[in-house]
Chains A and B, each alone.
Chain A
Amino acid sequence: MAEISIAAPPASPTEAADHAALHRTLFIALAALLVVLPFIPVIGYPFFLMKVLCFALFACAFNLMLGYGGLLSFGHAAYFGFASYVSAYTAKHWGLTPEASILLGTASGAILGLAFGSLAIRRQGIYFAMITLALAQMVYFFSLQTPRFTGGEDGIQAVPRNALLGVLPLSNDTVTYYLVAAIFMAGILLIYRIIHSPFGQVLKAIRDNEARAVSLGYRVNQYKLAVFVLSASLAGLAGATKAVAVQLASLTDVHWSMSGEVVLMTLVGGMGTVFGPIVGAAVIISMQNFLAGLGAWVTIVQGVIFVICVLVFREGIVGVIGKWLKKPL
């Protein structure tokens, strides 16, 4: 073993306070951007923006587990899609107000996360991922087999936008957009807080070196389960909001390819970065939207982008920018 002395000059120090200030600025800029976005031509139509924001929140929820908890789930569509059904169903058939159906949808994501998480955390690495995938497939088949709840192949269409709190009518897409934007901001701020909490510190430690965390006395499975449930709840929040926003819940949302898409968004944007998944979701949804004319080719273009990402810039778009700036974004 080479002998290395402890007395060399220090390298680049990381300044936590600076980073916090930078992140605060970026959050304010993002909020301002969300306010003006509907007025920007070409991309500024609310329906498209709402879709981007819902998927961005979904990707951020997924990234909380992968990027900060080190847990790769291949079945996150289950929480997103199931919550979307619950939200759509309760709005349409029970006539619940948006906040109530979104809350119920989120709760269903949490419960599903608790059940599936308890099973999955018993295994590690690829086995963990495979259990999450298998359980998510069960949700898919359940959805397929219960058309009275999910509408089967048709999904739940024309989900009504009931008045918010029973008084504020979501009269048009723009009003609804601001509701979605508010939920999105609240969601990503919560995730940011989770990452920067005492809990988040332990989470990062477990991600970095699980055995060491155990040897320090942390019961790591409880932390893994906690982040699993948080992530599933936030994925549920995204799905439930999406049902109200685009007025549709369908099998696409619980399909395994949706689980793959959220992995893609996170990796393209930058896993383990605060803002990466948002950028990743924007890129992927924009591509699907503006390249829709290419038909099935969109999938191939996505595949190519994925391969390029993995080969050329593994840190993702925001990860690479962060590296250039020498700051964690």
Chain B
Amino acid sequence: MVGTSDEIILQTRGLTKDFKGFTAVSEVDLDVRRGSIHALIGPNGAGKTTCFNLLTKFLIPTRGTITYKGQDITQAKPADIARLGLVRSFQISAVFPHLTVLENVRIALQRKRGDNFDFWTSEAVLSALDAEAERLVEAVGLKDFVRHQAVELSYGRKRALEIATTLALDPEMMLLDEPMAGMGHEDVDRIAELIRRVSANRTILMVEHNLSVVASLSDRITVLARGKVLAEGDYATVSKDPRVIEAYIGAGHG
């Protein structure tokens, strides 16, 4: 795959998370190559979102280490993770409901200004970022909604907006938690195309239930079940693995 190198950008060793005796993530060793699209799949409750929360420091791991670009980030703070270029999206659509679509994206662009504590400055200075924000909004197909409040958007459009906001930070690595959930066919295709396009010069780790999307997009797949890594490899290998098929059927996925 073009742009994929042998360099490991994100690595976990023995990553474990216990919730009061229940182990949601157990001894996960993950290696994500720079420039790849890496999918994390598995039945409901497998621990995928928990994994994301651990990687982005929204949860503190019970055990294990996380290394990003050679740097141990196990103890880092979530806002600092973003500043290192590792930006996530959320499974439950995470927009700023009372900001407009444009403002949602602009909030991310605003980070480039450095610290935004200047309460005495008019927000008019932010209009310098409008053109870039509009370009991003257009890229996810929300051109007609630029001035709408995010709360007015349908679920699928909120997901699209969230991707635009994440992209606005131009992150080296993106973590997308079910980016296609709740979208119609055309939108799935559009967003898949967008992900492919933006993956050119970055790394993407993606949780996705839509297996055809996973098949067409990802370079490598890790299958998680009951918190453990069940299988890993490319789609052809993983989809034939009897343990994977069993885990999916066992969890009620046909």
Contact = CB atoms under 8 A, between A and B. Distances in A.
A201 B126 contact: yes
Contacts of B122: 193, 196-197
Contacts of B184: 3-6
B99 A204 contact: yes
Given A11-B148, A14-B148, A208 B97 contact: yes
B248 interface: no
A14 B156 contact: no
Contacts of B118: 197-199
B126 A1 contact: no
Given A4-B154, A217-B79, A201 B182 contact: no
B154 A198 contact: no
A175 B54 CA distance: 62
A3 B126 contact: no
Given A2-B155, A3-B184, A222-B117, 13 more contacts: A1-B182, A3-B183, A4-B154, A4-B157, A6-B154, A13-B148, A14-B100, A193-B120, A193-B122, A209-B94, A212-B94, A212-B96, A214-B58
Interface residues of B, number: 59
B216 interface: no
Nearest to A218: B79
B116 A198 contact: yes
A211 B87 CA distance: 12
Interface in A3-38: 3-16
Contact of B95 (A5, A8, A212): A212
A279 interface: no
A120 to B, nearest CB: 19
A217 B110 contact: no
Contact of B94 (A14, A199, A215, A220): A215
Interface in B203-234: none
Given A2-B182, A209-B96, A216-B87, A198 B121 contact: yes
B50 to A, nearest CB: 15
B147 interface: yes
B119 interface: yes
Interface stretch (B6-14, B17-25, B40-48, B137-145): B137-145
B78 interface: yes
A216 B107 contact: yes
Contacts, number: 155
Contacts of B152: 11-12
A128 B183 CA distance: 38
A7 B186 CA distance: 10
A118 to B, nearest CB: 16
A10 B183 CA distance: 18
B37 interface: no
Given A6-B157, A11-B148, A14-B100, A194 B119 contact: yes
Q: Would you call the interface of chain B mostly helix, strand, loop, or mixed?
A: mixed
A43 B113 CA distance: 48
Nearest to A219: B79
A56 to B, nearest CB: 21
A2 B152 CA distance: 17
A230 interface: yes
A202 B108 CA distance: 9
A71 interface: no
A230 B90 contact: no
Contacts of B160: 6
A226 interface: yes
B186 A198 contact: no
27 contacts: A2-B155, A3-B183, A4-B157, A5-B184, A6-B184, A6-B190, A12-B148, A12-B152, A193-B119, A193-B122, A197-B120, A201-B107, A201-B110, A201-B126, A205-B99, A208-B99, A209-B94, A209-B96, A211-B90, A211-B94, A212-B94, A212-B96, A213-B107, A214-B58, A214-B78, A215-B90, A220-B79
A206 to B, nearest CB: 9
A269 interface: no
B95 A209 contact: yes
A5 B148 contact: no
A197 B149 contact: no
B195 interface: no
Contacts of B110: 198, 201-202
Interface in B99-144: 99-100, 103, 106-108, 110-111, 113, 116-123, 125-126, 141-142, 144
B159 to A, nearest CB: 9
A98 interface: no
A155 interface: no
Interface in B62-107: 77-80, 82-83, 87-90, 94-100, 103, 106-107
A211 B95 CA distance: 10
A104 to B, nearest CB: 22
A200 interface: yes
Contact of A212 (B90, B126, B154, B181): B90
A226 B181 contact: no
A208 B78 CA distance: 18
Contacts of A219: 77, 79
Contact of A209 (B97, B142, B190): B97
Contacts of B165: 212, 216
A9 B154 CA distance: 12
